[in-house]
Structure 1
């Protein structure tokens, strides 16, 4: 197995509605939000974990192929993870224990807040408190709940790396599959409470570069991929 190249995709994720990426509630006091967002422990700024983006990309891509499979006793059966040659398994990897596991070919890095100065006048540091009311369908009693969200207008960094190896099936499609997954996220939602208005994002890819294995040996320069290769709704 030989590394052919790394495809490095950079850009921004714009929150078009409030974004709810859950964190820990252990530090919240009485009267605080019922659910909080995840924050950098040093800067206290919210961020998008790479695991949240990658998990959403994978689940939506699997849904688009119609291969989620059935779930029995906590295990998904007959899904893409059962087939080591399936496109989503090649891109995202598999944790099978029968010797046919595959390492992930895609790296989704954490997305850090790019415009903290624009979020100074918010209810909480860089975030907002959103109150929702649950109505008991029997008694009609109102039960308010408060959630912490990153407000609309927040911008986060996007950084994705695709590793392409010579023995990968569909290796020429890995970049296209990544674009498709990002388009699906953009037309769905990121984080929690998406069906109640949260999590709509706009993804903007600014640059794609290729670094071949020869680049890392100092024999060839890196190359940029033409912007025309990026789907129009991701520019």
Structure 2
């Protein structure tokens, strides 16, 4: 059955880091004495960013868990689920559904007047050394992570596609739920050790409508 696009809802805003963020990138540029784990960066300008896939995947997982849309830890992937309706369901049959949400890569706001990146020990980032202890042998294993420091901001951009006959309010509410859940969880790696706490500030809570 063919469906017609009704409108796009454009969401913009800022992702504010409350604690350091580590989303892993390549270690190809590893130097002796440098971090063991690098953050993902744009290879052209060397500026860190948050991949849209990381942001979208985390929000989907949180919505699935919060609404019991998993079975033995695996997503149920049903169209009638909140996560399925918003984030889509893969498949080659009538049980599939394209994602209604586009999440752009979030670029670091390097011109933020409230943040001075000149004080970071790496370009736009910090290095944080941690020591893990083997509880059997008591042997220490130091390792250094690269993190985008607390206080940095990323430019957020998302697009919600609304088709005729769909529950627009329901899709918007699920997106708002995903944002709230993310703020109460973490983004990136090592969240249980304090990394990746964020606040999300939308320019308009319900986005900006663009009709077609």
Q: TM-score under structure 2 normalisation?
A: 0.92
- Give yes or no for contact 1:128–1:150 (8 Å, CA) kept in 2: yes
2:84 aligned with 1:89, yes or no?
A: yes
Aligned runs of 1:138-157 on 2, under 5 Å? 138-157=136-155
CA contact (8 A) 1:80 1:88 kept: no
2:76: which partner in 1? 80
Partner of 2:119: 121
Give the equivalent residue in structure 2 for 1:43.
Answer: 45
Aligned to 1:16: 18
Give the root-mean-square deviation of aligned CA atoms: 1.4
The corresponding residue for 2:57 is: 55
Matched pairs, number: 205
Residue matched to 1:218:
none
How far the C-alpha of 1:85 sits from its partner, in A, is: 2.2
Corresponding residue SS for 1:120: helix
**1:84, distance to aligned residue in structure 2 (A):** 2.0
For the residues of structure 1 that align with 2:8 and 2:131, how far apart are their CA atoms?
48
For residue 212 of structure 1, report the CA deviation from its aligned partner: 1.6
Per the alignment, in what secondary structure is the counterpart of residue 44 of structure 2?
A: coil
Q: Give matches, 1:1-235, under 5 Å.
A: 1-70=3-72, 76=74, 79-81=75-77, 83-115=78-110, 118-168=116-166, 170-207=167-204, 208-213=207-212
Deviations 1:190-210 (A, max 9, x none): 000000010000110113210
Query: What TM-score results when the alignment is normalised by the length of structure 1?
Result: 0.83
State how far apart, in whole Å, the 1-side matches of 2:142 and 2:82 are.
44
Distance 1:141 1:130 in 2: 20
Give CA deviations for 1:174-226 in whole Å, capped at 9, x if unaligned: 1111111011001100000000010000110113210122xxxxxxxxxxxxx
User: Comparing both structures, which one devotes a greater share of its residues to helix?
Assistant: 1
The whole-number CA distance in structure 1 between the counterparts of 2:97 and 2:137 is 52
**Which stretches in structure 2 are left out of the alignment for 5+ residues?**
none
- Segments of 4+ moved more than 6 angstroms: none
Structure 1: give runs of 5+ residues left out of the alignment: 214-235
Shift of 1:171: 3.0
Distance 1:60 1:124 in 2: 32
Deviation for aligned residue 1:102: 0.9
Alpha-carbon distance in 2 for matches of 1:195, 1:205 = 26
